[in-house]
Structure 1
């Protein structure tokens, strides 16, 4: 088990209300901040990789978002002896048969930047008419405890791929993804609105109640 280091960066509810600790199984600072915000108000202390020096890298070699999320959560739960929360997400483009999918972060290569990935996507979609540019962001979130128990939630944000990069907010494919019912990309959208309609927000909306029961049991049992 990896020994925990106390840090000032850990986020928690009022100390008198904290009932347990969970670890976010990611090193992505943006994702950590987003997940902490979505978990705000629960009676838990939210830790991250920064609180556990020496945590192992978990290879994302699954064939689905669910498999990758489960593998990460189980590995970090075992290493820390805490409940771990992990997610895996990506972009599925209809015209490309669901690609980039689980390879969204590595679409243009193992060391590709967000801009590299977006440029490759736009090149592959060059000349494709709007009605054939349907796409969706998918997020699968998993919690696992040290005994191997798991719980899952999935969120989907439907939309389409724009013809050019627009906007300065967000990350990843946000500058070219236009959510269904909107005329702006996620990168042009106010972050507060994005965090209400995104795939991760939708997954976490379902996940909060599941996580509470997973951690503390049903209300009838308390």
Structure 2
């Protein structure tokens, strides 16, 4: 059986692993490294949707592959949606999860409303068409880090209805409820119906 090869425009090995585990065997995910795309793809949009489109278009136009790209932001209600589109580099360059969490916790110091949500938008370029899939996971920003798993803001994000942070959950537990899990399941459902 021929596998459909689709590039996932990311260099994040954990993200790649998380998504490949959710896909049917008929689909093979290639990373940017696999297609020798070593340049930094510009993420210059001021929206999460816009950045996922920029990344997918870059790979499709420059490497001629079907591609999907995601962009994710953590949006905190009491901070007017910050860090949002700047989540990965909230504390500046280079991107540093520990510094990002420190900055967010400092900005929330003394603030009661800690409601937040993660939003992921996946953009798929396939057979000359573009499709967007969105996933949102609502939760709360904890006052301190909990757990060792995951990446990014996972140690300080507790999804609604759970007593653990994302960083205390297994990859499978997180994928069932996470923003990326929701968006990727919509993508997979679409790919399974091709």
| TM-score, with length taken from structure 2 | 0.94
Query: Of the two, which has the highest radius of gyration?
Result: 1
Which structure has greater helix proportion?
1
Q: Does the 8 Å contact 1:167/1:175 carry over to 2?
A: yes
Q: Equivalent of 1:86, from 69, 80, 101?
A: 69
In 1, distance between residues paired with 2:139 and 2:79? Answer: 15
Residue 126 of structure 2 is aligned to residue 142 of structure 1: no
Offset from partner CA, 1:135-171 (integer Å, 9 cap, x none): 0011000111474x20110001100111111111111
Contiguous gaps of at least 5 residues in structure 1: 1-15, 217-222
1:63-212 superposed matches below 5 A = 63-129=46-112, 132-145=113-126, 147=128, 149-212=129-192
Which residue does the alignment assign to 1:59? Answer: 42
In 1, distance between residues paired with 2:109 and 2:189? Answer: 42
Runs of 4+ in 1 over 4 A off after TM superposition: none
In 2, distance between residues paired with 1:146 and 1:157? Answer: 30
In 2, distance between residues paired with 1:135 and 1:112? Answer: 21
Contiguous gaps of at least 5 residues in structure 2: none
In 1, distance between residues paired with 2:40 and 2:161? Answer: 39
In 2, distance between residues paired with 1:59 and 1:50? Answer: 16
Offset from partner CA, 1:42-74 (integer Å, 9 cap, x none): 522221122222454211011111110011101
In 2, distance between residues paired with 1:180 and 1:123? Answer: 22
Q: How many residues align?
A: 194
